[in-house]
Amino acid sequence: MTALCDLNRFLDTMMPMHMLVGPTGHISHAGPTLRKLLRDDLVGMRFLEVFDIRRPRCEPSMRGLLSLEGRPLHLQFRNGDQTSFKGVLVAQPANQGLILNLSFGISVIEAVGRFGLTNSDFAPTDLTVEMLYLVEAKSAVMEESRDLNLRLQGAKIAAEEQAFTDTLTGLKNRRAMDHVLDRVLDHQMPFALMHLDLDYFKAVNDTMGHAAGDHVLQVVARALIGATRAGDTIARVGGDEFVLLLHGLTDRTRIEDLATHLIAALEKPIPFNGEECRISASAGTTISADYEDPQAAILMDDADVALYASKRAGRACHTFYASALRDIEDEARKTA
């Protein structure tokens, strides 16, 4: 009897979630942590009535249980509690039944919370508490990292907004164009400012999707770069609006040729996923030499007026700004 008490004391300290099952299949002793999980006194109950061995399958008898000696077991209570256990059992000598030890396995966090377990419910050698520490510490660190990532992402978006490049096409953006325009005006260098707007682009977007639209914008950007000189400044300033600053170019014939050439290039069908996207472009140009005191906002607006004159003229064409156009445009704006 003393020997048995010693064994129980020994097992309670080393394995607080163990059970002794006698030769008849009844629980004869349970470790203190296991007793805490089930308020009922386990001792005297049939092991297989308290626990369901989910895997591996075995015959529901003492012989069946003993056939699982040494193998990893997956168990659950039969009382409806969802806690799952890992276990291992060994036969006691001389057909005296078996010893079974349990742990929570991966469901440990839930189980510790549900049963209100503390450090003292685990053997000092058990790493459960260290694992709980680690999970909590890592979660805190992960949260910090996630916050940092969110902030960095926000900063990245802000930086992109402030940058000078249109990320879709690689062209300059409106900010960049404003800077360049201010600079050439400061240096009183002659230039032409062409405002170009795609025709039928919305139809491509609507019928073939945004991916097709994005592709068209990229092809347009390449066409604009291809048709102009390396020193010219080309910006995408809106969804399908572009501004071309043609440095030193004030010859109307050459500008008209360039515009015609550009529009023709943009009217070539653009293949996308086995289909063809068809667009065109309208353009309007104003020339810095036409002004006594050229100012950025006025030039931009005049190029815009010329562009709308092209739109009104049936699209797919180019118009130079003239003050008469402004009167028509003002009239149109009034009626609109």
Partner 1 sequence: MHGLVNRAIQCFVLDTYGDAAWEDVTRRADLGFNAFEAMLHYDDALTEAVMDAAVGLLGKPRDELLEDLGTYLVSHPTQGAVRRLLRFSGADFIDFIHSLDDLPDRARLAVPDLGLPHLVLRDHTPSRFSLECHGAMPGFGYVLLGVLRAMADDYGALVLLDHQRTQGAVESLSIDVVEEAFAKGRSFELVTAPTGAP
Annotated catalytic residues are 240
Q: What is the DSSP letter of 83?
A: -
Nearest-approach distance from CB 105 to partner 1, in angstroms: 15
Work out whether 120 is an interface residue with partner 1 (CB under 8 A): yes
Member of 13, 61, 82, 118 binding partner 1 (CB under 8 A): 118
**Cβ–Cβ < 8 Å for 17, 34:** yes
DSSP H or E stretch at residue 230 = none
DSSP H or E stretch at residue 208 = helix 201-208
- Of 43 and 148, nearer to partner 1 (C-beta) is 148
> 60 — alpha (psi -120 to 50), left (phi > 0) or beta?
beta
Work out whether 117 is an interface residue with partner 1 (CB under 8 A): yes
- Of 129 and 225, nearer to partner 1 (C-beta) is 129
Nearest-approach distance from CB 74 to partner 1, in angstroms: 22
Q: What distance in Å separates the CA atoms of residue 118 and residue 239, rounded to the nearest whole number?
A: 62
Work out whether 155 is an interface residue with partner 1 (CB under 8 A): no
- Of 43 and 127, nearer to partner 1 (C-beta) is 127
Q: What distance in Å separates the CA atoms of residue 194 and residue 201, rounded to the nearest whole number?
A: 19
Structure tokens at 266: 């943009």
Member of 6, 49, 136, 276 binding partner 1 (CB under 8 A): 136
Work out whether 291 is an interface residue with partner 1 (CB under 8 A): no
Q: What is the DSSP letter of 90?
A: E
Which x/- pattern, by CB under 8 A, does the window 292-331 give for partner 1? ----------------------------------------
Nearest-approach distance from CB 122 to partner 1, in angstroms: 9
**Cβ–Cβ < 8 Å for 274, 295:** no
Nearest-approach distance from CB 7 to partner 1, in angstroms: 26
Stretch that binds partner 1, among 72-80, 112-120, 163-171, 270-278 (CB under 8 A): 112-120
Q: Is the peptide bond before 124 cis (omega within 30 degrees of 0)?
A: no
Member of 46, 71, 138, 183 binding partner 1 (CB under 8 A): 138
- Of 24 and 119, nearer to partner 1 (C-beta) is 119
Nearest-approach distance from CB 139 to partner 1, in angstroms: 9
Which of 288, 186, 196, 179 shows the shortest CA–CA distance to 244?
196
- Residue 94, number of CB atoms within 10 A of its CB: 7
- Of 130 and 160, nearer to partner 1 (C-beta) is 130
Side by side, which strands form the sheet with 191-199?
233-236, 241-247, 191-199, 280-287, 318-320
- Those residues with Cβ within 8 angstroms of residue 97's Cβ, 6 or more apart along the chain or in another chain: 20, 21, 22, 23, 24, 25, 28, 62, 91
Nearest-approach distance from CB 134 to partner 1, in angstroms: 6
Interface ranges with partner 1 (CB under 8 A): 109-110, 112-113, 116-120, 129-130, 132-134, 136-138, 140-141, 144-145, 148, 151
